[in-house]
Structure 1
């Protein structure tokens, strides 16, 4: 796509992201792609992000997960209270609780947009 001077859109990013997270590919590639998506203002879908998060946890890459969650919260414009709650869970390594709350907040935001 890039060779034909066509920029990928949000749908394209989400499809590639889903493939990277569900396909068992190199986790660093999925992390780098997630960062690229977020820098372009595209939020990953949560089910695929959940797979990536599980992979990061199983590889003891909690710091990377925390960085990605912080980027998602920033791009999704979470309230200060929402951000504080999730960061609190992350700080005490309660990754599943943090991700569960992240999912709920993202779903609530998505329903407000539509």
Structure 2
């Protein structure tokens, strides 16, 4: 089943949901701010995306700038920071089987449908 990690306050994330709705395919919405992924789940998502943890971080968030920017952080440290502060996770993330994509721009989601 297709899964979208979604934040309803984000226009790109809402656009991602609309693209999935228009596709007619069944999908699950994960409100990751309420249902925060574990370190293991986030690590798996990062592997599916084929990126490094820092590439999933929203670096313009105040939390990042005030607490983490410029510090020497391991990949594990970065993943833990995202789990402890889920606002730092880039969105939307769509997973379809063994494929995943960050929906920025949202139209990119169609590449894995």
TM-score range relative to shorter protein: 0.3 to 0.5
- Scaled by the length of structure 1, what TM-score is found? 0.33
Larger fraction in strand: 2
The TM-score, its normalising length taken from structure 2, stands at 0.33
